Amino acid sequence: MEAKRTDVLPEYKGLQTRKLIPGREVYGPEGRTSLSRASIWRGVKEGWFPSPVSVSPGRIAWFEDEVDSWVESRPRLRLSTEHH
């Protein structure tokens, strides 16, 4: 009887690598949302903005695809060329 190998890792076909981005890329004037840090945290608490994940003690980040999806879901400000 052949022994079962335990050193072989399973193949994870089809899984995509998800990029994590720090808060400075999420909020503030240089962030993807242009919202303030306080607004982002209010959104997380109220459930209208994606939650961050812990990457190490005292350090968090957001999944880039979740932030980008949230940004894409927001209505666009449309400026009218007509004067009222």
**pLDDT tens readout for residues 44-60:** 999 999 999 999 999 99
- The confidence score (pLDDT) of residue 64 equals 96
Has residue 65 been placed in a domain?
Answer: yes
Measure the CA dihedral 57/58/64/68, to 10°: 150
pLDDT score at 6: 59
User: pTM for this one?
Assistant: 0.70
Predicted pLDDT of residue 62: 97
Token pair for 20: 């994590």
pLDDT of residue 1: 55
Report if residue 52 sits inside a domain.
yes
Q: Quick check: is 84 in a domain?
A: no
- Overall domain count for the chain: 1
End-to-end CA distance of the chain: 86
Can you give the pLDDT at residue 15? 58
**20/64 Cα distance (integer angstroms):** 6
For residue 39, is it within any domain? Answer: yes
Domain enclosing residue 46, as ranges = 20-72
The phi and psi torsions of 55 (rounded to 5 degrees) equal: -105, -20
Among candidates 18, 27, 28, 29, which has minimal Cα distance to 53?
A: 18
Q: Give the residue ranges of the chain where pLDDT is below 70.
A: 1-16, 80-84
